[in-house]
Each structure stands twice: as structure tokens, then as C-alpha cells.
């Protein structure tokens, strides 16, 4: 490993939405509200322009604009920034990595190219090494999300190769429900790698497996529930932890049933952070559907875990 200094993400990391105006253009003026809202929920780290941030629907210029906007506001709220830089074009990924370093973000992360997919674990490591080399002063995290990329290799093999070939490799944003693979990676090199968990519905299972932090979209609007699950786990109150995890699953199921990302962005608007609608090809629930969703979320106790934005 290199001498790059990094702190592990043993905390909740929100994956913030990219805000849009009604016409679909960027609404970067909302990012300050997002930062304020997250800080009020005791969330002190963000993973920007990832899946929740609709990175695959953003141009390179738009992603850079989002980076610059977060750079302007994160520090004043005590928020660490992981810049997701992954792209099908490695030249774009490298340009984003260079900008992330210029802006002094805390780390970079990249998912696998997913149109022309790497054929082997070694090829994937080579892609990651090229990206990481563009920001040699920043820790690098691979973003494992095979349900969307279709790229599936044994992660323990990837970690072993990445640790040898990427000086700044620090770990994986592990958005994959395979807890066996997760445990294998956690145990490698005496627990040397940082593996923030990325499947909110299995947070409790991941904690039991050894997770110490997580990156998730639901931490935008119900971080309190995740904090409560972690607190119950730490206290050894398994019954409470299971009950709270079931509540989180039910809430996510309700959002999924009407189109998760569009629904989640609508929820942010209800909390005073108007991040707009999801971009095509994603859809958005109708006003009537959102009325029904709100009633269901109220019945599930969702709003007991939310904090309206303090600046609204």
C-alpha cells in the first residue's frame, strides 16, 4: 500500500440524489440544502454521482459540475466526499478522478465498465488501476454492484490482485448481497481492507458478518432508522434490531413498488429538499400514486425516522 492517508468509512455514508429542475437540467443550487439536511441527520460522508446520483444519465460535464458544487459546501458541514468516477469510457473516469483530486475530495470509487465488460478479474483490476493512477493522492475503492453492471468475479480474488497492483487500493463499496464473499474479503490480510456495506435491506446481516459502515440511498431520508439498527446491534438487543430491520425492508418495498428512485426523490421533496424527478429512462410515480405511497409510509411509521431539512 502507498503512503496515502485515509480514514475508514466506519459510518453511514449517504448516496445523494443529483438534483434536477423541472426541465431536467441540473439544480446544483440544491446541493447546499442536501448537505445541511444530511448533517442534521448525523450523516458526515457522501458518495456522489453513483447509482442513486444517476451517474449513467449524466454527461461528463454535468458530473464535473456536481463535483464542484459538493466541493463548495461539504467542508462547512463536516462532510467527507467519496467521488464515484466510474464510466464506460475510462478516459472519462480518469478525467473525473483527476478533478476529484484537484478538489481535494477524500476518496474515489469506480464501478466496472458494463457495456464492454472486463472478461477476467485481472482485466477489471487493470481498469481500476488506470483510474486510480489518475488520482494518486486519493484512496481508491472498487464499487461492486453486479446486479447493474453484470460483472461478477470472486471478490476475494479481485482484492488480492488489486492490493498488489493498485497502490491506493483501500477496499470495496460492497453492494452485493453475497455475505459469504463479503466475509471472505473482510478476513483478508488481517482485516486490512475497508468494505462499507451497500445493501440497506441487509444492514443487520452485514453488521453480524463484520460490517462497520455502510453506503446507502435510504440514508438520505431515514438515516435515523439505520442509526437505530446499529445502536441495537451494538447493545446486543437482537430483537429490537430485527424489528427495525423489518421496518426498513417494508419501507423500501413500498418505494420499490412504485419505482424506487422516482419515489425516493419525491420523498426528499416532502422533507424540504426538492431534488426533482428521476431522468429517463427511469420513471416517476404519478401524483395519485404518491398520495397512496405517502399514506402507506405513514402507516409503516416512516416519518418517525425522518428529519425535515433545517433550512426549509
CA dihedral 113, 16, 297, 37 (to 10 degrees): 170
Which of these is catalytic: 173, 260, 265, 277? 173
In sequence order, the β-bridge partners of residue 108 are 83, 140
Any idea what the Cα angle at residue 93 is, between residues 156 and 35, rounded to 5°?
90
Which of these is catalytic: 67, 141, 143, 182? 143
Q: Are 191 and 207 in contact (CB under 8 A)?
A: no
CA distance 167 to 156: 17
CA distance 254 to 183: 30
Catalytic-residue membership of 296:
no
Any idea what the Cα angle at residue 104 is, between residues 99 and 108, rounded to 5°?
65
Catalytic-residue membership of 141:
no
Q: Name the grid cell of 13.
A: 455514508
Q: Catalytic residue positions? A: 143, 173
Amino acid at each position: 500500500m502507498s503512503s496515502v492517508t485515509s480514514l475508514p468509512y466506519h459510518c453511514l455514508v449517504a448516496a445523494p440524489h443529483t438534483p434536477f429542475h423541472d426541465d431536467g437540467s441540473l439544480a446544483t443550487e440544491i446541493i447546499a440544502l442536501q448537505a445541511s439536511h444530511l448533517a442534521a441527520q448525523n450523516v458526515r460522508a457522501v458518495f456522489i454521482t453513483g447509482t442513486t446520483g444517476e451517474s449513467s444519465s449524466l454527461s461528463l460535464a454535468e458530473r464535473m459540475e456536481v463535483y464542484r458544487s459538493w466541493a463548495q459546501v461539504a467542508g462547512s458541514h463536516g462532510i467527507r466526499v467519496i467521488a464515484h468516477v466510474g464510466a464506460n469510457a475510462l478516459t472519462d473516469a480518469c478525467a473525473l478522478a483527476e478533478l476529484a483530486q484537484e478538489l481535494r475530495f477524500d476518496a474515489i470509487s469506480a464501478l466496472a465498465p458494463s457495456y464492454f465488460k472486463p472478461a477476467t478479474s485481472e482485466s477489471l483490476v487493470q481498469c481500476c488501476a488506470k483510474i486510480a493512477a489518475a488520482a494518486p493522492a486519493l484512496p481508491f475503492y472498487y464499487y461492486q454492484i453486479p446486479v447493474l453492471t453484470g460483472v461478477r468475479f470472486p471478490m476475494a480474488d479481485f482484492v488480492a490482485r488489486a492490493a498488489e497492483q493498485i497502490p491506493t487500493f483501500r477496499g470495496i463499496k460492497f453492494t452485493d448481497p453475497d455475505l459469504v464473499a463479503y466475509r471472505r474479503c473482510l478476513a483478508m490480510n488481517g482485516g486490512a481492507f475497508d468494505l462499507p456495506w451497500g445493501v440497506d435491506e441487509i444492514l443487520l446481516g452485514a453488521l453480524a458478518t463484520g460490517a462497520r459502515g455502510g453506503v446507502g440511498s435510504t440514508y438520505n431520508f431515514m438515516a435515523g432508522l439505520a442509526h437505530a439498527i446499529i445502536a441495537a446491534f451494538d447493545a446486543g438487543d437482537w430483537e429490537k434490531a430485527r424489528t427495525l430491520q423489518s421496518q426498513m425492508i417494508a419501507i423500501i418495498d413500498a418505494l420499490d413498488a412504485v419505482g424506487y428512485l422516482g419515489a425516493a426523490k419525491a420523498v426528499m421533496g416532502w422533507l424540504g429538499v426538492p431534488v426533482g424527478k428521476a431522468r429517463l429512462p427511469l420513471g416517476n410515480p404519478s401524483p395519485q400514486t404518491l398520495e397512496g405511497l405517502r399514506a402507506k409510509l405513514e402507516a409503516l411509521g416512516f416519518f418517525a425516522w425522518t428529519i425535515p431539512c433545517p433550512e426549509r
